[in-house]
Amino acid sequence: MRLALTQAQMASESGEVPTGCVIVDAEGNIVAKAHNQTEVLHDATAHAEMIALSQAFAAIGNERLIGTTLYVTKEPCPMCAGAIALARVSRVVWGVSDPKRGGASVFDIFAHPGMNHHPETVAGLMEKESLDVLQAFFRARR
């Protein structure tokens, strides 16, 4: 999660909402790391998780990321949660939950009976640090 926080800080420094993501394989090797790039790429889908998933697919050589853990500083949105489930990521860990657009806490995508894969989820890892990065970013913008 510390590496995901570093990615979030990189996003903040480039004017992006500070969300960072790291994906590790079953042995703990980092297979992807990314941060939000929606502003710089002019792409609404360029969330940290989406970019990291693409990197992980290439690194592993498979569209199924079985055995991986995805760490992200903010709870995945519905788009990212759907992609994570379809990629069959085994475990999703996030720092701060998103009470407005959380793919798990609001939309329940990871546990939805219509999904063919239900990753293990862990919320609140390094929550304070993740929240601090987000709050500092939005305070500076106001």
- Cβ–Cβ < 8 Å for 37, 46: yes
Instruction: Count how many Cα atoms sit within 13 Å of the Cα of residue 138 in the half-sphere of its side chain.
Output: 7
Catalytic-role residue among 13, 49, 63, 129: 49
- Cβ–Cβ < 8 Å for 78, 109: yes
Whether 49 is a known active-site residue: answer yes
Q: How far is CA 68 from the centre of its chain?
A: 13
Q: Where are the alpha helices (DSSP H) in the chain?
A: 2-13, 38-41, 48-60, 78-86, 127-141
The residues assigned a catalytic role are 49
